A = this chain, B = another copy of it.
Amino acid sequence: QNVVKEQLLKLVEVPSLSQDGVPLTLAANISSLKELDAALANGAEGVGLFRTEFLYMDRSRFPTEDEQFEVYRAVVQKLRGETLIIRTLDIGGDKQLDYYELPEEENPFLGFRAIRFSLERKDLFKIQLRAILRASEYGDVRIMYPLITSIDEVRDANAVLSEAKRELAAEGIPYDADIQAGIMIEVPAAVAIADLLAEEAAFFSIGTNDLIQFTLAVDRMNEQISHLYEPYHPAILRMIRAVTNAAKSQGIPVSICGEIAGDVNALPIWLGLGIEELSLSAQAILPVKDGLLRTKAADSRKLLEEMFRCKTASEVRALASQFHAEAALAPGNVQSLL
């Protein structure tokens, strides 16, 4: 194990390219400034998902604008020019606040969450957006709205963003006027209207955990049915392809987050689709980079075509494992050194 770890660490400075030279940015998911250190030690190229809800949890009141600003600024400064994507508050579902009573819900995953909360409490939303805007003076900061289901929600959120900008401008506080606002694609409706959303959003990040849950109607935390939670389901592949095509046709970038992004076997899917970026937990970055260095984008495209001919998840999975097993044997592969 230590041998592997040591070998993997040698990859930190290696550019993140497929064997045939196609770049795939490996950004990090973080929840705090502290987690950024681990991410950078593992060679993260920027932060693809800063989960800000942890700034709101385990405390006794909502964080102030200044408190948030300090954290966002510290993170982006540590990134030295690399991109920081800040996801606005994604509370609700299984994430609760000690100091604010969210309604009791029969089905919290299908409930009052994320952007729904922010658009209901625009006062709190604006405080967060002001803090993010102020941090945007210090580096490449971008905003990401979670759980978007409609064009209306993007427009409503952007209206609050505009208001926050106007306020800051009136107060003489500097911010990046061209800050990008993108969205998470994690609700099936967003997939179905991805072409329309691509006109309103600066970028997409496909939140595979929630997307798979909603698409398959499976709570992955529910042990009784967790075997039905299946990232390799043909429906999931098709939906990710549809989103990618919609993004490409509007010329906006698309990245993948969620657990499946850290699954080395899924690499040919991203390479085959022409995805530009993955956002990963710190520990997943180097194993994925290791796999990437041994995988050809050209082969991935061919494999993906085969995957799209499969009718069941087990057929897709079998193709992915076989492909990975062959790639893992390529000379110089860290996993193969064992």
Contact = CB atoms under 8 A, between A and B. Distances in A.
Interface of A: 94, 103, 105-112, 116, 147, 149-152, 187-193, 196, 210, 213-219, 221-222, 224-225, 228, 230, 233-236, 238-239, 311-314
B312 A217 contact: no
B107 A108 contact: yes
Contact of A106 (B94, B189, B215, B313): B94
Contacts of A149: 216-218, 228, 233, 235
Given A103-B224, A192-B238, A239-B192, A217 B94 contact: no
Contacts of A236: 189, 192
A111 B193 contact: no
Contacts of A217: 109-110, 147, 149, 187-189, 210, 214
20 contacts: A94-B106, A105-B222, A105-B224, A106-B109, A107-B110, A110-B217, A110-B219, A110-B222, A111-B224, A112-B225, A149-B233, A151-B312, A187-B216, A188-B216, A189-B215, A189-B236, A192-B235, A192-B238, A193-B234, A214-B215
Contact of A222 (B112, B193, B239): B112
A286 B331 CA distance: 72
Contacts of A188: 188, 191, 214-217, 235, 239
Contacts of A103: 222, 224
Nearest to A94: B106
B187 A224 contact: no
B107 A234 contact: no
Given A187-B217, A189-B233, A233-B189, A150 B312 contact: yes
A238 B106 contact: no
Contact of A150 (B109, B112, B196, B233): B233
A313 B221 CA distance: 32
Given A106-B221, A224-B111, A216 B189 contact: yes
A110 B236 CA distance: 17
A238 B222 CA distance: 30
A222 B149 CA distance: 17
Contacts of A193: 234-235, 238, 311
